[in-house]
Amino acid sequence: MPTEPAPLRFEDHEQHIHALIRAAMQAADPARALREHWPGTLAGAQRLTVIGAGKAALEMALELERLCEGRLQGGAVAVVPERLERLTGQPASFDAYPASHPLPDARSVRAAQAIADVARAAGEGDDLIVLLSGGGSAMLTLPAGDLTLDDLRAVTEALQLAGAPIESLNAVRKHCEQLKGGGLARLAAPARVWAFILSDVVGDPLDVIASGPTAPDPTTYADALDVLARYGVRDAAPAVTRHLEAGVRGEHPETAKPGADAFARVTNTLIGSNVMAIEAVRQQAEAAGWRVEAVETGVEGEARQVGARLAERARQLAAQGGGPAILILGGETTVTVRGDGRGGRNQELALAAALALDGAAGIAVTSFATDGVDGPTDAAGAIVTGETVRRAREMGLDARNFLQRNDSYTFFERVGGLIRLGPTGTNVNDVALALVY
């Protein structure tokens, strides 16, 4: 006889949430994803090299070593420094370069140059394996023309602070750097390129993930320049604006477009995404006895607005006596920085939800980043209930003031509720849940 799920009690909400987090993380495991999508046509290949970048790049590359069984002949991979530090020894068949995220630094440029060198050295008859995942854009930074790292950092930071979505940010990056927007595919030709991609972008557009090093780019210099104007950051990095204006005048070559010869021998394979993680959460929730009231993927928008709406939906469900039920959201929200606080989109979403839940009984809401790093903090997200804001008041803290200052991390550090996973070695966007008991 099948075992009946344990009763779902509000006092166990943290345990329930962490079980659902584990389900999401198992579905986003990069080694398993690569293993399941490894093509049989590469089983006998002898001239194999690897390049890669992103938060899951190290785990994917280590799995690649096992899959190749001694046939991997070298390569360069840009990886999260904290993940590299945990290794007991250096990888046997490729060089791992620590690189920075979310803003590139000198290490990112060094890693990108090493990756470019490997791609350029690949020739006819070679099989170049490319491993891409979230964070790859910052970790694969190689300025174009006369641009400098400082120029790229300035425009990236300005667009992030303005709340620009990743598609807009990456349209600019692709026109200011050498490897993005199909640039890596151009360098690697005529080698056979096999790109395995773990998506951190809503909708999984291959040209946006890691800024599309092996994918055709539909955007133009004019599009990139329009992004700067739309978000009011034309003056944030004058050299970038001048570079894009020169591109519009035809003084720089455009990024690689659909149908270009560079892609004749390129195979891009999506091996993991937020949708896959959300499906694993749904299955785990049903097995635990939850009625899945709603599943939404591709969620975008201001984090605080999404959080408030999620909490309100949960309150309405509770008022109808609809529990135990769960609402499951997946995607990536944005934060328009208005204050000088610390936090990330998941913590801001959770804080807005806490305000909307104030006083509600039997509801828990969480939002977390699958990469384990929410904004410039050591937290992945936070868990809130109808008691969260009350606890803050008892401590003399004004939750709304913390939200206005984008200071969600400090709020949860004082009041409690932070989720700390550490860098997970993967990245398939965010997951938000509302549990109604």
Task: Reply yes or no on whether the pLDDT at 181 is more than 80.
Answer: yes
The DSSP 8-state label assigned to residue 408 in this structure reads: H
- pLDDT the model gives residue 212: 98
Mean pLDDT of the residues in the chain: 96
Residue 163: the pLDDT is: 86
pLDDT of 351: 98
> Residue 426 above 80 pLDDT?
yes
How does pLDDT run across 346-404, given as a tens digit for each residue? 999 999 999 999 999 999 999 999 999 999 999 999 999 999 999 999 999 999 999 99
Instruction: Please give the distance of CA 200 from its chain centroid, rounded to a whole number.
Output: 4
Q: Determine the distance from the C-alpha atom of residue 295 to the mean position of all C-alpha atoms in its chain, rounded to a whole number.
A: 20
- pTM for this predicted structure: 0.85
pLDDT of residue 323: 78
Instruction: Count the Cβ atoms, other than its own, within 10 Å of residue 224.
Output: 27
| Distance, C-alpha 409 to centroid of its chain | 19
- The string over 180-204, giving b where at least 16 C-beta atoms fall within 10 Å of a residue's C-beta and e elsewhere, is bbbbbbbbbbebbbbbbbbbbbbeb
Asked if pLDDT for residue 268 goes beyond 90, the answer is: yes
Whole-number pLDDT of residue 87: 85
Share above pLDDT 90 across residues of the chain, in percent, rounded to a whole number = 92
Rounded to an integer, the average pLDDT of 148-173 is: 95
Query: Residue 3's pLDDT band (boundaries 50, 70, 90)?
Result: low
- Reported as a pLDDT band with limits 50, 70 and 90, residue 86 is confident
- Tens of pLDDT, residue by residue over 9-54, are 999 999 999 999 999 999 999 999 999 999 999 988 999 999 999 9
- Rounded Cα distance between 136 and 278, Å, is 22
For residues 220 and 241, give the distance between their C-alpha atoms in angstroms, rounded to a whole number.
14
| Pairing verdict, β 48-53 and 127-132 | parallel
Neighbouring residues of 418: CB distance < 8 A, sequence distance ≥ 6:
347, 379, 381, 382, 409, 412
- Bigger pLDDT: 364 or 88? 364
